[in-house]
Amino acid sequence: MRTYDQVPPPPDDDKRWRFVGTTMRSHGYKPHALIETLHTVQEYFGFLDEKAFKYVAHGLRVPLSRVYEVATFYHFFNMKPKGKHTCVVCTGTACFIKGVPQILAALEKEYHIKPGDTTSDGKVSLMAARCVGACGLAPVVTFDGEFVGNASPEKVLAKIREWKDDDAG
Amino acid sequence: MTPDELKEIITQEQQIEQTREHHICVCTAAGCISSNSLQVKDALAKEVKARGLADKCQVKGVGCLGLCAQGPLVHMREEDRLYKKVVPEDAPEILDSLGAKPVQRLECPTNIPFFQRQMRVVLENFWKIDPERIQDYIAADGYSALINALTELSPIDIINEIIHSGLRGRGGAGYPTGLKWSTVSKAVGDVKYVVCNADEGDPGAFMDRSVLESDPHRVLEGMAIAAYAVGASEGYIYVRAEYPLAIKRLRNAIKQAERSGFLGQNIGGARFSFHLDVRLGAGAFVCGEETALIASIEGKRGTPRPRPPYPAQHGLWGRPTLINNVETFANIPSILRRGAAWYASIGTEKSKGTKVFALAGQVNNTGLIEVPMGIPLREIIFDIGGGIPNGKQYKAVQTGGPSGGCIPEEFLDLKVDYESLSQIGSIMGSGGMIVMDDSSNMVDVARYFMEFCQSESCGKCVPCRVGTVHMYNLLDKILRKEATRKDLSMLEKLCGIVKGASLCGLGQTAPNPVLSTLRYFREEYESNIVEGEIAAVCAQCPDEKEGEKR
């Protein structure tokens, strides 16, 4: 059995590691808590990096390769830091039928970004969601987690312009 | 919790209810919340307080009211009046209409087919209960089926009841639920698990999300009954991380159920214990496949494995595991409360009961509906759905997501059940129903689904990993009007290979959108085909040359 003094110390003195440690502890440091733990890391840090991988691998006693394979397999985990704001475009079927391709095309034309990219000034990240399950309001875009239904290219471009201008001043 | 204690809570709740003359119910499912229904609820509550009506009039959050396109929706129970597209500033006017004339500007008629033609079994509590209060669920006769099962019925009785009800898995494939339960109950193992598949990955489907957000206790009750019937002591709900509200309400519901003694040790005073936990998915469509889902709960990559052995014998951590979909579990309490004969009287010969559909796309009334099995598609789309907007023509309806197919107009009078849909090249699927009008390009739709499948393929087996990429490239080529007749026949050949040789359901059904559009809308493919010039095209495409040599 594992004793608590064998649990590795956090990689640095960032207080957010405590939450990660709590998740691992609540699952008894069992290897099957890997996905749950990575969720916690992403929730508090926004993305996963090598430091986090090593900490989690040690904590749950799984090979580093397994942490990396799981983190890269699931689309929900991202390895790149996000911009200050995040715009998530839903690409579910209903949204696709109702005009998401036009929204993405407008964004690419105006800001040269595709899903997964961040604008060159690091302010806005564009993500694509498989389906956010609000199909009745298609097309759906979320701005920093806030849902907007019946979106149009104009609405999305206006919001992104607002973000970019806002931060410049 | 004993039957008497349960009755006591019901009486208490009823007494409180009787003192109230009005109930204003605000939809608090994700659709309406995204159009600010929480602010509407707060404004209404504030106004009620300001007018000193707090004792008489209750403002409460309820589950999904169904007509998502018109949200935020507010339902006044006593007046049976529905208000649509409400903003917080409408609160005074709404309160003025208590027991008086309705606010015409906001009124949404409830006598339209959208509401009248539905038959609510799984969704029966959606308009009534606050999903965050267990007392509401108990007052609506909730958990009585579980307590009754534990005190009056043996596991065998329950399984027989489910078999007689004719309930089939609502996740898509339609495997008889009772049979699955009976297999797991006969399987030998020191520990058994019950798993709820809430990894609703189909784009365009939101039934499971709505059920979890609007009536989470119903799913917990169904799972606890299943656990008692098959002899399981632990359970997991595997839910998509993309559904934060559903996760929050589920966790809250589990806590409440544990505190009230519906989950945990010695439930209902019986020698039965059941512990339930939530596991989050992480955005992998393939995890809807049961063996991949098990791998994911174990903290591994979500890749499927060959079956048999089936999870019923060798599932989570090698133990017998019962896996059912959210909607399947949500049907269980109703079946036990009202009897298998009642349930079997709804629907068609082979498909019993009701089905929840998420109606979306180019249709007037988008939202969540529940209809009896065997209802014609035309009735769903033109009566309940209110037809196609903007004066356009109906072209096709897509059911079953990336595993399903497109159904053209000639089959609109088809009665919806598992068999009839698969006969015409689609599937029931989990219940997503996307309507397309004549502006949709069917080759583009097929390419959209193939893009989805090739990026969601887990990569374990070659036919799916490689085949879907090539099918996507061929569809793209057709859309660019660069494909020849040979490419088209290659696409058809690949459909057969991927369908026949893939390991799991994802690959086996990935060609369905292509096959069904080829079957019913072949002219759209044909019109993009370039005649002759095979050599010129192949020169640009080295991959294919290699393929030809083989």
Query: Which residues lie closer than 8 Å to B324 by C-beta, 6 or more apart?
Result: B169, B171, B177, B180, B194, B195, B196, B197, B226
By three-state DSSP, how is residue A75 classified? coil
Secondary structure (H, E, C), B422-464 = HHCCCCCCCCEEEEEECCCCHHHHHHHHHHHHHHHCCCCCHHH
Residue keyed to tokens 């095979």: B534
pLDDT in tens, A86-122: 999 999 999 999 999 999 999 999 999 999 888 888 8
**Interchain contact, B361 vs A97, CB within 8 Å:** yes
Query: Which residues lie closer than 8 Å to B513 by C-beta, 6 or more apart?
Result: B398, B402, B404, B405, B406, B445, B446, B449, B450
Q: Which pLDDT band holds residue A65 (cuts at 50, 70, 90)?
A: very high
Q: How far apart are CA B19 and CA B3, in angstroms?
A: 25
> Residue A151's CB: how many other CB atoms inside 10 A?
24
The residue among B36, B67, B301 with the most chain A CBs within 10 A of its CB, best to mutate, is B301
Chain B 452-471, residues with CB within 8 Å of chain A CB atoms: 452, 458
Strands B74-76 and B57-62: unpaired
**Interchain contact, A135 vs B205, CB within 8 Å:** yes
Q: How far apart are the CA of A28 and the nearest CA of chain B, in angstroms?
A: 14
Strands B394-399 and B405-408: antiparallel
Query: Which residues lie closer than 8 Å to B98 by C-beta, 6 or more apart?
Result: B22, B53, B57, B76, B79
Q: Is the pLDDT of residue A169 over 50?
A: no
Q: Is the pLDDT of residue B417 over 80?
A: yes
Query: Which residues lie closer than 8 Å to B46 by C-beta, 6 or more apart?
Result: B91
Q: Is the pLDDT of residue A2 over 80?
A: no
**Interchain contact, B280 vs A39, CB within 8 Å:** yes
Helices (H), B104-154: 113-116, 134-139, 144-152
Query: Which residues lie closer than 8 Å to A71 by C-beta, 6 or more apart?
Result: A38, A48, A53, A77, A79
Q: Which pLDDT band holds residue A83 (cuts at 50, 70, 90)?
A: confident
pLDDT in tens, B359-397: 999 999 999 999 999 999 999 999 999 999 999 999 999
**Interchain contact, A129 vs B242, CB within 8 Å:** yes
Q: What chain A residue is nearest to B33 in terms of C-alpha separation?
A: A147
Q: Which residues of A touch B277 (CB under 8 A)?
A: none
Q: How far apart are CA B309 and CA B96, in angstroms?
A: 64
Mean pLDDT (chain B) is 93
The residue among A62, A70, A73 with the most chain B CBs within 10 A of its CB, best to mutate, is A73
Size of interface A-B (CB pairs under 8 A): 143
> Residue B170's CB: how many other CB atoms inside 10 A?
28
Q: How far apart are CA A141 and CA A124, in angstroms?
A: 14
Q: How far apart are the CA of B59 and the nearest CA of chain A, in angstroms?
A: 24
Helices (H), chain A: 17-26, 34-45, 50-60, 64-73, 93-97, 100-111, 153-168
ipTM of the complex: 0.90
For B166: left if phi > 0, alpha if psi spans -120 to 50, otherwise beta; the answer is left
Q: How far apart are the CA of B525 and the nearest CA of chain A, in angstroms?
A: 19
**Interchain contact, A93 vs B279, CB within 8 Å:** no
- Give the residue numbers in A contacting B (CB under 8 Å), as ranges: 30-36, 38-39, 62, 66, 69-70, 73-77, 91-94, 96-98, 129-138, 140, 146-149
pLDDT score recorded for residue B545: 45
**Interchain contact, A134 vs B302, CB within 8 Å:** no
Q: Which residues of A touch B67 (CB under 8 A)?
A: 136
pLDDT score recorded for residue B187: 96
Lookup: tokens for A8: 């590795």
pLDDT score recorded for residue A4: 55
List for chain B the helix, strand, coil content (%; round to 5): 50, 15, 35
Q: How far apart are CA B262 and CA B243, in angstroms?
A: 25
Strands B367-372 and B22-27: unpaired
Are the CB atoms for B496 and B512 separated by under 8 Å? no
A82, HSE (Cβ side, Cα atoms, 13 Å): 21
Whole-prediction pTM: 0.93
Q: What is the DSSP string of B256-302?
A: HHHHHTSSBSSGGGSS--BEEEEEE--S-GGGGSHHHHHHHHTTS--
User: Which one, of B82, B54, B372, B370, lies nearest residue B215 by Cα?
Assistant: B370
Q: How far apart are the CA of B392 and the nearest CA of chain A, in angstroms?
A: 14
Strands A85-90 and A141-143: antiparallel
Strands B275-280 and B57-62: unpaired
DSSP run (H or E) holding B107: strand B107-108
Q: Which of A93, A132, A147 sits opposite B434 (nearest CB)?
A: A93
Are the CB atoms for B119 and B371 separated by under 8 Å? yes
Q: How far apart are the CA of A159 and the nearest CA of chain B, in angstroms?
A: 16
List for chain A the helix, strand, coil content (%; round to 5): 50, 10, 40
Q: How far apart are CA A67 and CA A51, in angstroms?
A: 12
pLDDT in tens, B84-134: 999 999 999 999 998 889 999 999 999 999 999 999 999 999 999 999 999
pLDDT score recorded for residue A35: 97
Q: Which of B30, B398, B445 sits opposite A134 (nearest CB)?
A: B30
Q: Is the pLDDT of residue A140 over 70?
A: yes
The residue among B33, B34, B436 with the most chain A CBs within 10 A of its CB, best to mutate, is B34
